[in-house]
Structure 1
């Protein structure tokens, strides 16, 4: 009797575990999506994430603006698999998109670039899908992958050497959200907090003398961790420059 009870409990635990695994594997959320009808089929370079041209062309221009997934800017750079749900029109694979902007539609979570929206459809059904304007979708957070690219730090064009520094983190791999950025102050031997100016742009007045070392706080399952980027920016930095950190988040 005891053995039977133990066997039953073991079987129940296995079934619960399997159902949990299946939930996380499937893990799709129902929503709606539309597209940005810009004339050149790209998103605007003035996206609220602050990526500039990077936000227009990353992931072969398959990008999206989001509303509640924006998360005050920490949702910038996240990757999602999005699938539409119209029978005989929608691809089973859907499209992988990178969040580069904020946008609100008709009860939508995604405003896709036209490049991304077109990939929702099966071949020969693209024009018909565009005629819907807004479609029901399901989406799932997925890891970002940038083969051959390390994490990069771009000095935003608004930076002014040496009095004002603004940085943007590019090629953010994995499923991490950046929630804070600090810069190391050598003379006082302490970390200085940078302000989230907007989106994923972090800034600081009267920055330390270079070379500059940063650390980023990233969300991980169950909490956060700090990732250091040592001596990334040289002493005589200039606005618009992009620097390789030699590391990656995943």
Structure 2
């Protein structure tokens, strides 16, 4: 178990490097938020319900091979005559393959950076200079949830998608077992926020999620999530939420505050 957590900690440390730092970049926008809902994280139309359509596509260093899906960022435009000091908060739902900007935002998120009455002005810019940093995700009325994907075929294959993931860390591993059993099967990340396994336990299912809390690996236990009669397309409440913040071993940097 110690070796397992050492390996996991290495993986987690590598995917969370310097998230706390303030970064400088440029940001563009999609004219339709639906363009982001078909993104690489696999959220589909559910993405439009995240944070009032304040969603974003991030470059590979933010997407992190899917581990960055669902991460939250505070982002603000640097032109103080055009934009507010607070900026806006976005949730990463897609991969941005272009290197001109770190983010491509939904138009609603893009205009939310502007001062009141200057929505059209910022849209006319198309691309603006911004600064951003990662912040904890908060879902005050929702637990971490599991959606059973349509590709699942009982009893041979289970595919799930994680929704409403809180905290400021990544899920880097998921195990599944029958409720009451200690015979765990590991799941693999298929893509984005979607995980799967061909070793599906019988009966009602429990999960354990591996995240970082501080500098250490941590299990989050969800002891009864899927009923024995689980169905595809249904979202199940895990009964738990992730509130952990991963600490980083990167070099000192400006962690910033929105003044």
8 Å CA contact retained: 1:179, 1:217: yes
Q: Tell me by how many angstroms 1:191 deviates.
A: 1.7
What secondary structure, in the 3-state scheme, does the structure 1 residue paired with 2:160 have?
A: strand
The aligned counterpart of 2:101 is 108
In 2, Cα distance between the equivalents of 1:133 and 1:105? 15
Aligned length: 224
Match of 1:64 among 52, 56, 79: 56
2:231 pairs with 1:241 = no
Change (3 A) 1:237 1:199: same
Q: How does 1:98-247 map to 2 (within 5 A)?
A: 98-184=91-177, 189-247=182-240
TM-score normalised by structure 1 residue count: 0.84
Tell which deviates more after alignment, 211-220 or 98-107: 98-107
8 Å CA contact retained: 2:178, 2:203: no
In 2, Cα distance between the equivalents of 1:129 and 1:209? 54
Change (3 A) 1:212 1:185: closer
In 2, Cα distance between the equivalents of 1:186 and 1:91? 49
2:83 pairs with 1:90 = yes
Tell me the C-alpha RMSD between the 2 structures.
Answer: 2.0
Change (3 A) 1:139 1:228: same
8 Å CA contact retained: 1:106, 1:134: no
What secondary structure, in the 3-state scheme, does the structure 2 residue paired with 1:190 have?
A: coil
Change (3 A) 1:213 1:49: same
In 1, Cα distance between the equivalents of 2:79 and 2:66? 31
TM-score normalised by structure 2 residue count: 0.81
Q: Tell me by how many angstroms 1:185 deviates.
A: 5.4
* Greater relative contact order structure (CA < 8 Å, 6+ sep): 2
Task: After superposition, give the CA deviation of every residue in 1:197-226 in whole Å (9 maximum; x if it has no partner).
Answer: 000100011411120111111123213211
Structure 2 stretches lacking a partner, 5+ long: 1-17, 244-259
The aligned counterpart of 1:33 is 27
Q: Tell me by how many angstroms 1:66 deviates.
A: 0.5
In 2, Cα distance between the equivalents of 1:43 and 1:147? 27
Structure 1 stretches lacking a partner, 5+ long: 1-23
In 1, Cα distance between the equivalents of 2:30 and 2:149? 25
The aligned counterpart of 1:50 is 42
Q: Tell me by how many angstroms 1:124 deviates.
A: 1.9
**Runs of 4 or more above 6 Å deviation:** none
